[in-house]
Amino acid sequence: MKGWCWLLCLLCGIQMGRGQALIPCPVDVKALPQEEYVFGDKVVIALLSEGLENEAEELRQVVKDRTGREPEIVRSGKMPNGAVCLKLDAGLSETERYELTVNSSNVCIAGKTAAGVFYGIQTFDQLLAENGGNTVCTAVGGVRITDSPRFGYRALMLDPARHFIPLEEVKRFIDLMARFKFNVLQLHLTDDQGWRIEIKAYPDLTGKGAYRNPQGGMNGPDNGYYTQEELKELVAYAARKHVEIVPELDIPGHTAAAIHAYPHLGCLRGDSVPLVLGKSTDRMLCAAEEGTYEFYDKVIGEVSRLFPSRRIHLGGDEAVMEKNWGVCPRCRALMERQGFRKTDELMGYFFERIEKTVKRNDKEMLLWCELDNIRMPAERFLFDYPKDCTLFTWRMGLTPRTIELTARAGIKLIASPGEYCYFDYPQWKGDLPEFNNWGMPLLPLRQAYAFDPGYGLPPEEQGHIIGVAGLLWGEAMADMNRITYMAFPRALALAEAGWSRMENRDWESFKNRMYPLLADLMRKGVSFRVPFEVSGSH
């Protein structure tokens, strides 16, 4: 309770207005001191362009929540006096660009695309929250905002493979993402601890692999999976919030749940270590088993038809090759036939075959980047990744080198380094006493905010970086309240890293802009960690 009381007391002393409590920070905010838009008894939302019905409904809900008034949505060929207007403007330069103008006559939100209009609405929502405080909003100070994102890929990752997250809770998380202009949700659907997506060709994947605790019931946290109909529903819901869902099936390691259901997929090993679903294991797919490729051909086909995203994430990380491919007689025979001297050379063979399936389904492969220090210990370099894949940089301390090597290889990169983007790491010393089995380092809010995805490099050396991703690995997060507690407010810092230009970012400004938004999250019943340390009160 002490932390919450501190936050409330702090908020009482903060007076904000005219766009001073916006996250992520826009490109340009100009206050119009002589202007103020006052909500009348009747609020009209005017659609000046076709194709914005979804955005009008989003705005209707925003206005209703913030003002208590039920708006009327009308179509109009001109900007009615007193209305909140939505329009498309093909003259704007960037896909997600928007312009928001608030004056005494009306409010106008214009976007290059419907996505741009949607983000303008999210900014308008923050203005209403800022002006309304703890009461309903009756007026908004005049302001003109011009805005567009630094990066086009702004993601958060959920991990229902470890602890299952019910569908409605995922929707709740998508709502939070959209408010802060994240546009990609990565769903980590398969791992050692669980297989959470229905595959009709292989029913035992969920029949066996979705039940980490045989004594537990469905719908989490240990057991559960998404049916294909549920995932279609989720994809449609996310699309209305302009959030793309990228599925992740981790291979060739992190596959104990799949091997538990279909043992022939695993390597032949001489040890007798049992495979126990729900515990981390070093079991891997057999690279020499033809059934492995037939299996994933069907799995990837079904997954690709469910998710319209052109991207699919296939893991590629933490493969314990020597204990699997190095001892499996089938894999060793394959290495001999191929003329391979090291087991890591099978990784290129494995993903070359998997990539054919990916391309057949019109998808682009995403992978966790592993730097190879086996063949040339003095010089870290990339595996032979496909040129048209996209890699994630994630291992702590290795991102500058990864940026350099991917630029040299002509491979796109998404920045999610552990020291800035692993939101399962504790936020403060002693903050996560019940689960820290990996000796996880601290990731305080100020450190998260210091993240520059381009690492200060010249534009030509970071041009292949397409975005950012914050990762919420789920072993320590059994429900959505814990997930949002670990995500926020650090996700606010990442939202700004992904959207805002470095020249517009400032730690002191961020802190002040953050407090009213945290109060608004509290009013909405969202669990988050109160960042007591940033005020100097600790």
Active site residues: 191, 254, 318
Residue with tokens 């179509």: 75
CA-wise closest residue to 499 among 115, 54, 50, 84: 115
Burial of 110 (0-12, 13-18, 19+ CB in 10 A): buried
- What's the DSSP call for residue 385? -
Which residues fall within 8 angstroms of residue 48, CB to CB, at 6 or more apart?
A: 76, 77, 78, 79, 85, 86, 87
Phi and psi (nearest 5°) for 74?
-130, 155
Which residues fall within 8 angstroms of residue 50, CB to CB, at 6 or more apart?
A: none
Which residues fall within 8 angstroms of residue 52, CB to CB, at 6 or more apart?
A: 86, 87, 88, 114, 117
Q: What's the 3-state SS for 275-295?
A: CCCCCCCCCCECCCCHHHHHH
Lookup: tokens for 510:
């961020």
Cβ density class 204-213: b for 16+ within 10 Å, e for less = ebbebbbbbe
For residue 209, the SS3 value is coil
Lookup: tokens for 496:
């700004």
Lookup: tokens for 438:
């990996």
For residue 139, the SS3 value is strand
β-partners of residue 44 are: 72
- What's the DSSP call for residue 237? H
Q: Count of CB atoms within 10 A of residue 200's CB? A: 10
Residue with tokens 């009381």: 5
Cα three-residue angle 29-32-33, rounded to 5 degrees: 125
CA 417/CA 169 separation, integer angstroms: 26
Asked if 435 and 475 touch (Cβ cutoff 8 Å), the reply is yes
